[in-house]
Structure 1
Amino acid sequence: MAKWGEGDPRWIVEERPDATNVNNWHWTEKNATPWSKERLHQLFKDFKIEKSDIECVVDTVDKCTGEATVNNRKGKLIFFYEWELVLKWSGRMIKNSNLSHKGKLTIPNLSEENDLEDVEITVTIDESNDESETLKQFMYNVGRNHVRHQLGAYIRELKEEYSKNLILPKKGDEAAAGHAETNANLKDANNIKNAAQKAASNTSVVSPKSSNTSVGCKLDVRTLSMTEEFHCNANDLYNALTKAEMVTAFTRAPAKVDAVRGGEFVLYGGNVVGKFEELVPEKKIQQSWRLKNWSSGHYSNVVIELEETSSSTMMTLKQTGIPASEYDAMKINWYRYYWHSIKQTFGFGTSISDAL
């Protein structure tokens, strides 16, 4: 997923005060990762779990890796979070002993795909004896429910915190005025906003690009080549790039994909468009490909070739005709929004032998 501030606004349209995201049509994203890490550390610092003569404390978060984002697509909020947590805990038997025993709680996959009661939580102790085993059993039977309660608090607060201001007022809402800039450019921002709303009333989405480039001018273009390894067979990767339901899954947005020669594709709310020029199952995909804000009528040529090995599939991409101003961002965006997302969504980043 994209880190906030690093995403290309032509692939994922950020929230803007100039009314570019008319009627919440575009895919808008906010990065909730830094806030989430801080909040998870707060929720599990000195968190006490007590009952009768047993006292246990989740002392701190030992490991917190993952990410969280919140998206708005056509006025619908979509929360994505995926975390691996390791919590350090300690406990003692209040009446029988003053000895403190230590252990860990491991949460390998806290994500929106799992209900809280289904989230796996494993309990371990550093040293095993009768007393520590009793504490371990207590943390398993009682402590895990308290931990799930804290995880539920994080999820609830994430949704409350990041629901604010993500869905912009629709055309005609009085509250829309609150999104105008309060600086010397306020008048210009309002003029842009009014123009965008007028275009929206004619059922068209306003592109954030400017049209300074005159028709027929010569573009400075570049060529991008990159190679990526996927731990799957060639057929699976080919399907991930050509099957509408799989493309929708890894882009996390409705996708139009007509994988026949001359068939069109529309991704990321219309910000990536093109058509298929050549298709060779399990071997090759050739596309005419463009970002929505590129000069009218300009397409790059994308050739994706797949080579299956004994344990993985090597993907080679060559993209010609990239506007020079887009080149630096293009490689990052291919990796972030295609290759990384495909691996994360379908598990193509881990080999079968590693997973066993």
Structure 2
Amino acid sequence: MAKWGEGDPRWIVEERPDATNVNNWHWTEKNACQWSKDKLHSLFSDLEINDSIMSVQIKELKKCEGEATANNRKAKLIFFYEWELELEWEGRCAGSDQVVKGRVEIPNLSDENDIHEVSVNVTLVDPDRGAIPEKIKGMMRSKGTEVIRSKLDEYVSSLKMDFSQGLILPTKDGKASGVTPSGANSTATKGKTELNKGSTYKPKESGEQCSGIKISTKELIMKEDFKCRAEELYRAFTVPEMVQAFTKGAAQVIPNVGGHFQMLDTNVSGKFLKLVPPNELEFEWRFKSWPAEHYSFVKITIEETSDSSQLKLVQKGVPEDEVERTQAGWQRYYFDAIKRTFSFGATLSSGGF
């Protein structure tokens, strides 16, 4: 089965006028250590974490030890990073003048761990000072951990965006090669897929693109079961943080009618046309290598059953020679990735969410 990326120029060995790193085949590396230290300091400097009665401010990133590099090999970007961090914080509780001091240790921020696997260890400098310090520590272990992990995720996303520049070099026609998302699991789960070979979806009334070339298209229909509530599955497609989590990179998502989205290293983009939470989504969708200005139409419906939610995807206007690659892309980079990231392939607990 074809994969996203096959047929793209970056997969074909081409000659370059300067004979340098032909088709991005050779290993190149950029040191991201100092950039990472500056970025982490800026993310945590004076960061505030509050709830209705307690407030905490990160006073200092006291320890920041490790390394980070961005690498290109065979037109694939690979990011290595490993950091050990220590934060110092001060907290207060409404109605009290007591200042509580503590630390946060993050020993395993690494490309080998997903963000939710990164340890965030909260401790008090003086643990024997009564009930208020324990309350603030509890808040930091719950809400504080969520905020800190979101900042770590922002660092990883920024690393992948900022240091992809210049690593994928132009090919002989002067265009930059695309970026292949790294770290995706190639194991496919078996969903139901149908192809309507008679479909001829036309995104414009004329049936022509800006180039004036008519495109032969087909309809793609896929079904997939997820062990989660319909609302959770709907949020996976519309909440920016969840999209960034399962695509493992920066993503822009504006979940309203007319709002645009872009993800998977800008390879996928589109615009929302209809949102009916938690059961229906309609949007324009295209892959970067498709003919200019050609968008397909996608309708996703989600039906919740007693122990799972079934997603049905109908996509019209897929270029005929891109159907297999598009199908494989949905399966690998969306469905499998969502199940893996959010454990939506596991059995639902009786208590629900």
Q: TM-score, normalised by structure 1?
A: 0.47
Which protein is richer in helix relative to its size?
A: 1
Structure number, greater radius of gyration: 1
